[in-house]
Structure 1
Amino acid sequence: MTGTNTGGNALCMGATPAPRKRGRPRIGQGLDDAHLLKGALDAFAEKGYDGMSLRELGRRLEVSHALLTARYGSKEGLWFAALEYALGHAAQGWRQTVEDPALDDLQALRLGIVHQIVFAASFPQVVRILNHEGGVDSDRIRFVVDRFVKPLRPLVEVRLNRLQDAGRIRPLPYEVLHFMVVHGPGALFANTVESDLLGAHPPAGDHAVWRHAEAVADAIIFGLATPPAAGTTPK
């Protein structure tokens, strides 16, 4: 599973960049990695890996094809860099949550889900990219799983297994929870055409997104929680 290291704020404000000079920047000059990688995420989410070229992306971002090649080496190198950029933030958030000793196991699981949904709202391109890549065996999907999912799995499973062993939640395979949390809630933000056709209105703004994420996380946690035994008072 992946998450985000933001709290109520999904966006970080930085210093206002100096106006860029006219014309395309030379290789190594005026290179804004965040701008390029976000643009790459947009492009790969829209066109798919096979449908996007470095030349097309260069035209979109108003940078030279040579600059992208020099910086990332190839289209595949750019894809890896873009997913590393996004999922690096996500993995850090999950790790901080599940490794926090101050959090009860159920609290940690709930907060991890909240962070994941906030991440999906901030990076809806990732959900769309993974939905496509997950159905085709390639070095790209193996990179995502090996680099981000597998290292986090045992950390989450420690919490999950303790909850199951204590009878606090119903037995649920880790991979089922992964798809419920990573792919399900993010569809509202990623599948914009489908959302529009259904008359859905994804929440906008950090506070609204956070509240939405909490509501969805609570629905998942409530569904997992075991009912109290007969004659007992729920805590």
Structure 2
Amino acid sequence: MTGSPDSSGQRAGSPTSVLGGDPAETEQAILRRGLDAFAELGYQATTVRVLAQRLGVSHNFISVRYGSKFAFWCAVVDFASSEALESGGWIFAEDYEDDQELIAASVRKIYRVSAQLPQLHRIVADEAARDSERLDYLFERYLRPFMSNVEPSIHRLVAKGIMPPVPVHLLYFAVMGPTSGLIQQPLARKFGRPEPSSDDEDIQYGQTLAGLLLSGIMHKPGA
């Protein structure tokens, strides 16, 4: 139970009674607030009590609506990932005849998402530091499929001498490392990043970083 019904028939402490509006939009608002909380505080520090305060709901809303904090975290990650996919869609290897074009498109997609949804990448970076069911969820549901999509192209480009022969796990971190310039905004501002920046400017920053990275990991054979 999430409280007694109010005069509108909604239970006190339910997301609709607190936030108002269409239930679907309310659900998105709940998940977006959850995304901000997990990205800012990390999973352990984001207690159910903290979530209730952040979401503006009763203390037992998470357990009643989602079953557990972990289940809510999964819903938040899925929501953020679906938002990311709406920006340009998923990149499929079969849509690209040229391996270099696939790798370039995949890298640029990563940096576009990092610029538009830095919270998602903060969550991934935080969870990557320790083994947990959350890391398993991220890896099996998102990271492994992404790498499986590009690995055949990587191997062919390595064989042609276009990409360096480094292990895939090192290549992953070489690609993901520079996204810190997009998600660690307080530090970036100390180095001179303008504040505030528009969404278009954030995306352009991401594409500039992607271009720098691609110029470093792909080159002409014999160059």
- With the shorter chain as reference, the TM-score category is 0.7 to 0.9
Alignment: residue pair count: 210
Q: Deviations over 1:116-175 (max 9, x none)?
A: 111111221122222222112111111111121122322210111111122222223221
Q: Report whether the alignment pairs 1:42 with 2:36.
A: yes
Which SS does the other structure have where 1:186 is aligned?
helix
TM-score, normalising length: structure 1 = 0.75
**Structure 2 counterpart of 1:163, which letter?**
L
Query: In the alignment, which residue of structure 2 is the partner of 1:178?
Result: 172
Query: In the alignment, which residue of structure 1 is the partner of 2:99?
Result: 105
**Structure 2 counterpart of 1:218, which letter?**
G
Q: CA deviation at 1:103?
A: 4.7
Structure 1 distance, partners of 2:41, 2:193, is 24
Structure 2 distance, partners of 1:173, 1:201, is 36
Query: In the alignment, which residue of structure 1 is the partner of 2:213?
Result: 220
**Structure 2 counterpart of 1:72, which letter?**
Y
After superposition, the Cα gap between the structure-2 partners of 1:181 and 1:201, relative to the gap in structure 1 and judged at 3 Å, is: farther
Query: In the alignment, which residue of structure 1 is the partner of 2:77?
Result: 83
**Paired-residue identity, %:** 27
1:76-225 counterparts in 2 under 5 A?
A: 76-90=70-84, 96-182=90-176, 184-201=177-194, 204-225=197-218
Structure 1 distance, partners of 2:14, 2:40, is 27
CA RMSD of aligned residues (A): 3.1
The answer to whether the 8 A contact 1:40-1:57 is kept is: yes
Structure 2 distance, partners of 1:82, 1:118, is 19
Q: Deviations over 1:29-68 (max 9, x none)?
A: 7462221111111111222211112222222222223333
Structure 2 distance, partners of 1:121, 1:27, is 29
Unaligned runs of 5+ in 1: 1-19, 231-235
Q: Deviations over 1:79-129 (max 9, x none)?
A: 111112223455788984242434521111111111111111122112222
Query: In the alignment, which residue of structure 1 is the partner of 2:54?
Result: 60
Q: CA deviation at 1:78?
A: 1.0
Where relative contact order (Cα < 8 A, 6+ residues apart) is larger, the structure is 1
Q: Deviations over 1:175-203 (max 9, x none)?
A: 12212223x23212322332233232378
Structure showing the higher helix proportion among its residues: 2
Q: CA deviation at 1:228?
A: 4.9
Which SS does the other structure have where 1:65 is aligned?
coil
